[in-house]
Structure 1
Amino acid sequence: MMETAFTPVASLTGGILIGVASTLLMLVMGRVMGATGILTGLVQPSNRQDFAWRLVLVAGMITGPTLFWMFSGQMPAVDVPVSTPALLVGGVIVGLGVTYGAGCTSGHGVCGMARLSPRSIVATLTFMAFTFVTVFVVRHVIGG
């Protein structure tokens, strides 16, 4: 049986940091902090300034775990209990969802919900509904 670790302090701390970072990005740059949109703009930037802030943000995402490793002596634990082909299929499905949903969970769920965007509220409710169904099917129907 699959067990989910309950980490309230780490989760709350991470949530606060994401909220502060997304608020600062909106206040300073007027940009929404959606991970896939940031990566897309990094691969296909509209101009040099657009590329620069995206590069700095992604570098920060890489630097965080690196600093954790330097100070603790270990990398943050990441356990992915599926095969590489399953990850690839999941990545394609998520990529399609991001394209058709006009954004990712971080963009809609964190920034869109905070702006009371009706599109983001519907998108987030859809993400959550399918997450509940998927977890139920995987854990109780398939027996993962």
Structure 2
Amino acid sequence: MENFTPFLSLAGGLILGISATLMLAGGRIAGISGILGGLIPPTLDFARWRILFILGLIGGAALFPVLGGDISFININPYNFSDDVHYAALIVAGLLVGAGTNIGAGCTSGHGVCGIGRLSVRSLVATMTFMVVAALVVFIIRMVTGS
């Protein structure tokens, strides 16, 4: 466990939990797929907070290394795929995730953070499904690539 940071992880979890609770108190779910999907087609009444939320996600990620966060452990191409295969895999994965969030009526943040927090059985089943499929995909990819 090279990158175990219990205090930073706890702080991040608390910030995420507080943010999700505040959004829920305002009648909104902090699910990224729902927030992004609500921008298509855009309506000004509902777009402003969604755009700010997405900009906050992007801004937070951009500020992380600027504020001293270490991203050296991130390996963009961990299986050493060629660039063509790597980009094709990313495109296919993105399309599958988009289809899955549509079929599952939400994403890991909506179901996993907000739904389970609301004691939703549907969200618990969805999150368990996400985790099992993720474990299977990692297993299959590692078996295929030998890494």
- Sort the TM-score into its range (normalised by shorter chain): 0.7 to 0.9
Pair 1:23-2:21 in alignment: yes
Alignment of 1:6-45 (within 5 A): 6-9=3-6, 10-27=8-25, 29-45=26-42
Question: Could you tell me which amino acid in structure 2 is paired with residue 58 of structure 1?
Answer: I
Where does the alignment leave 5 or more consecutive residues of structure 1 unmatched?
Answer: none
Alignment of 1:1-144 (within 5 A): 6-9=3-6, 10-27=8-25, 29-45=26-42, 47-72=43-68, 76-77=71-72, 78-81=74-77, 83-139=86-142, 141-142=143-144, 143-144=146-147
8 Å Cα contact 1:33/1:106 also seen in 2: yes
> CA 1:35 to 1:5, structure 2 compared with 1: closer, same or farther past 3 Å?
farther
- Please give the alpha-carbon distance, in whole angstroms, between the structure 2 residues aligned to 1:116 and 1:109: 10
Give the TM-score normalised by structure 1: 0.81
Match of 2:102, SS state, is helix
> CA 1:130 to 1:68, structure 2 compared with 1: closer, same or farther past 3 Å?
closer
> CA 1:24 to 1:88, structure 2 compared with 1: closer, same or farther past 3 Å?
same
Q: Work out the percentage of aligned pairs sharing the same amino acid.
A: 42
- Please give the alpha-carbon distance, in whole angstroms, between the structure 2 residues aligned to 1:75 and 1:128: 26
- Please give the alpha-carbon distance, in whole angstroms, between the structure 1 residues aligned to 2:35 and 2:117: 18
> CA 1:75 to 1:11, structure 2 compared with 1: closer, same or farther past 3 Å?
closer
Give the TM-score normalised by structure 2: 0.80
Please tell me the root mean square deviation across aligned C-alpha atoms, in Å. Answer: 2.2
Count of residues in correspondence between the two structures: 137
Deviations 1:74-114 (A, max 9, x none): 78454322611110010011111111111111101000111
